[in-house]
């Protein structure tokens, strides 16, 4: 039993673990190398060969075991200093059966030679044939005519070759350093495959960054002016692109629409659906003069026609009249908007229709509310209310209401920032869903 003086480290390239194989995983753990003094030998392996320390411990009997591993970590050398009178001590300074394989013996030879490693000879070229090829000869007793037999050379494995040398550690233990043509070719193929993979990942990242910039332009770039209402919106996406959507649509005749939506799914797929929904809404605004039902019916129809059957969206559409302070709204399966009154009461503008994109035969009802001086309106997505803390508690509507009330005196932009910061502080782990929020406030009456 080993008593570890420092925690063990698993130094292994994950690519060498065939964890999806039918049999339990098996690998070579270590080969024992006997040395006279571990402290003297260790710098050779760590500093001159560039190996890594895997563990350093002692057995119950007090003997010390130190394991080192080459950079890829596929196997370990365990350094043991045996007692002078033991049979193992006689094995120190002999030729070991340990062979290190590299893709370029000459390059490794020069690197280690510069670090003071002692080699027995400079790298040599070796070309061998399969043992079968060296021993076997064509059979003369074959009943098949000689001219119809395949050439014996064609039936044998091809020549393989490589370069080899040997080097010694401070105790004279000798190791082989070799490269084989097949290994070099395999490493080159793996390197090319890795470079191609990295290039594909770079292109994908670049394209995703472009998609992020394009989607950012889909959010409102200007705020149509209103005399009786201050407003602002914000969206923090969980990924580079996402499926939350908010918009401010100038409907003309002193009217403006507040829109917030949540698209099914995440990532690129949701972003494409979000762009489709936005395009449908903006293109249909002209036909829906003073008739939100016609607008949303057309949007639902187009959404059904242009997307897959499983795609859907929740949406809150609120038409605000800057003259009458009237808000007419359609809530398509979205979270209820929160209307905070000056008397500290709250109105929830709940669903008046089903979600968009599922049913081709679709209709809605119109809800109505008025924003009195000092009232505030909040539209949000479930990325806020369904954020979880470390105790698996949701942020929820109650915390959102409390945050809105705490920061109500701020301007809309500052209010948005403060509320979103509270959500992020509440959730210590990585953001898992898009966070989108719109707030609108009617200035209080002059005292």
Query: Could you read off the pLDDT of 83-139 as tens digits, one per residue?
Result: 998 999 999 999 998 999 888 889 999 999 999 999 999 998 876 554 444 444 454
Q: Which CATH superfamily does the domain covering 223-441 fall into?
A: PPM-type phosphatase domain (3.60.40.10)
Domains 1-92 and 223-441 share a fold: no
CA distance 248 to 235: 13
198-214 CB burial, b ≥16 within 10 A, e <16: eeeeeeeeeebeebeee
Average pLDDT, the chain: 83
Name the token pair of 279.
Answer: 């395009």
- Once rounded to an integer, what is the mean pLDDT over residues 417-432? 89
**In the chain, where the domains are located:** 1-92, 94-128+159-190, 223-441
Would you say residue 202 has pLDDT above 60? yes
Q: Please, which residues have CB within 8 angstroms of residue 102's CB and are 6 or more apart in sequence?
A: 108, 177, 178, 179, 183
Q: Is 372 helix (H, G, I), strand (E, B) or coil?
A: coil
1-92 has CATH 3.40.50.720 classification: no
Supply the pLDDT for residue 268: 78
pTM to 2 decimals? 0.59
CATH class of 94-128+159-190: alpha beta
List, edge to edge, every strand of the sheet that includes 2-4.
2-4, 52-59, 64-69, 76-80, 30-34
Would you say residue 70 has pLDDT above 50? yes
pLDDT 10s digits, 342-388? 999 999 999 999 999 888 899 999 999 999 999 999 999 999 999 99
Q: Contact, 70 vs 86, CB < 8 A?
A: no
Supply the pLDDT for residue 289: 63
pLDDT 10s digits, 243-286? 788 999 988 889 999 999 998 877 777 888 888 888 888 888 77
pLDDT category of residue 166 using cuts at 50, 70 and 90: very high
Which residue carries 């590299």 as its tokens? 102
């Amino acid at each position: 039993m080993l008593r570890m003086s420092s925690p063990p480290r698993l130094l292994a390239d994950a690519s060498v673990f065939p964890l999806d194989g039918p049999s339990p995983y098996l690998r070579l753990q270590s080969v024992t190398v006997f040395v006279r003094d571990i402290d003297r030998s260790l710098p050779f392996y760590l500093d001159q060969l560039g190996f890594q320390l895997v563990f350093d411990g002692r057995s119950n009997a007090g003997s010390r075991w130190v394991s080192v591993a080459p950079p890829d970590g596929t196997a370990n050398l365990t350094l043991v200093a045996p007692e002078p009178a033991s049979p193992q001590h006689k094995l120190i300074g002999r030729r070991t059966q340990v062979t290190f394989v590299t893709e370029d013996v000459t390059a490794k030879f020069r690197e280690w030679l510069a670090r003071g490693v002692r080699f027995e000879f400079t790298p040599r070229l070796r070309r061998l044939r399969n043992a079968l090829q060296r021993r076997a000869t064509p059979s003369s007793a074959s009943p098949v005519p000689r001219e119809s037999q395949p050439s014996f050379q064609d039936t044998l494995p091809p020549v393989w070759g490589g370069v080899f040398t040997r080097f010694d550690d401070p105790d004279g233990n000798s190791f082989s350093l070799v490269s084989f043509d097949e290994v070099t070719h395999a490493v080159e193929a793996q390197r090319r495959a890795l470079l191609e993979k990295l290039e594909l990942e770079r292109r994908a990242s670049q394209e995703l960054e472009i998609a992020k910039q394009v989607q950012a332009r889909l959010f409102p770039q200007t705020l149509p002016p209103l005399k009786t209402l201050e407003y602002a919106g914000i969206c923090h996406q969980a990924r580079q692109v996402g499926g939350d959507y908010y918009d401010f649509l100038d409907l003309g005749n002193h009217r403006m629409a507040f829109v917030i939506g949540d698209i099914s799914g995440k990532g690129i797929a949701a972003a494409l659906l979000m762009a489709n929904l936005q395009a449908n809404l903006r293109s249909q605004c002209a036909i829906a003069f003073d008739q939100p039902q016609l607008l949303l019916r057309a949007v639902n129809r187009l959404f059904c026609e242009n997307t897959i059957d499983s795609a859907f969206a929740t949406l809150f559409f609120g038409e605000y009249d800057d003259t009458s302070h009237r808000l007419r709204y359609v809530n398509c399966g979205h979270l209820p908007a929160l209307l905070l009154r000056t008397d500290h009461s709250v109105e929830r503008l709940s669903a008046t229709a089903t979600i968009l994109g599922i049913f081709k035969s679709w209709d809605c009802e119109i809800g109505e509310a008025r924003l009195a001086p000092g009232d505030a309106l909040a539209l949000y997505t479930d990325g806020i209310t369904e954020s979880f803390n470390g105790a698996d508690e949701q942020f929820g509507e109650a915390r959102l209401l409390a945050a809105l009330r705490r920061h109500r005196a701020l301007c809309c932009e500052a209010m948005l920032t403060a509320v979103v910061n509270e959500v992020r502080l509440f959730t210590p782990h990585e953001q898992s869903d898009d966070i989108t929020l719109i707030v609108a406030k009617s200035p209080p009456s002059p005292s």
